[in-house]
Amino acid sequence: MKILVEFIDIIDRINERLGKIFGFLIVAMMIVIVYDICMRYFFTKPTSWGMELSTLLQVGVVFLGGGYCLLHGGHVKVDIVYGRFSPRRKAIIDLVTYLFLLALCVVLVWYGGRTAWDSLIGHKVSTSAWAPPLWPSQILIPIGGILIGFQGLAKWIRDWVTAITGVKKLESKVVRGEGGLRG
């Protein structure tokens, strides 16, 4: 049990740190968008790379921040009925639904990794005038799938313990909330 607790604590700490680090991609994306808008509307000299770079940064924000968001319970869900359930019933429901999340993560890692690998060995570039290589942004998809998948696995393990005992025993040492089972 101690090894299991250490495992999920490591997952929590990794996603917490990476979420804070890659959260700065939002600032970078904002700077690129504001620069592109200023160049386009004030100087009538739009960039050939602004829109595409902001899209690539958004891929980083979404996929590299997914585990952090899951840890903090930030993903959208319908809470009208679910919020009235006991911790044990919530855990049982999450045990089933998180299997779909874990399956999605396998697909992201498998197909995203294959696509990124094909782009890397095929030297594929974007079709825009800027033409950056595709693999750096595509590799973020399987990395994000791994981060979200491990955080989902940590929540799934916590839910197993809650479903069996009826008590939230494996609370996160990193965060309060949905992914850490507090509250």
- 6-37 tens-digit pLDDT: 999 999 999 999 999 998 999 999 999 999 99
Could you tell me if 58 and 29 are in contact, meaning their C-beta atoms sit under 8 angstroms apart? yes
- Is pLDDT above 90 for 183? no
Tokens standing for residue 85: 């359930």
pTM of the predicted structure, to 2 decimals: 0.87
- Is pLDDT above 70 for 56? yes
User: What value does the mean pLDDT take over residues 70-98?
Assistant: 86
Could you give the angle at the alpha carbon of 154 between the alpha carbons of 153 and 155, nearest 5°?
90
Each residue of 105-134: pLDDT tens digit? 999 999 999 999 999 999 999 998 889 999
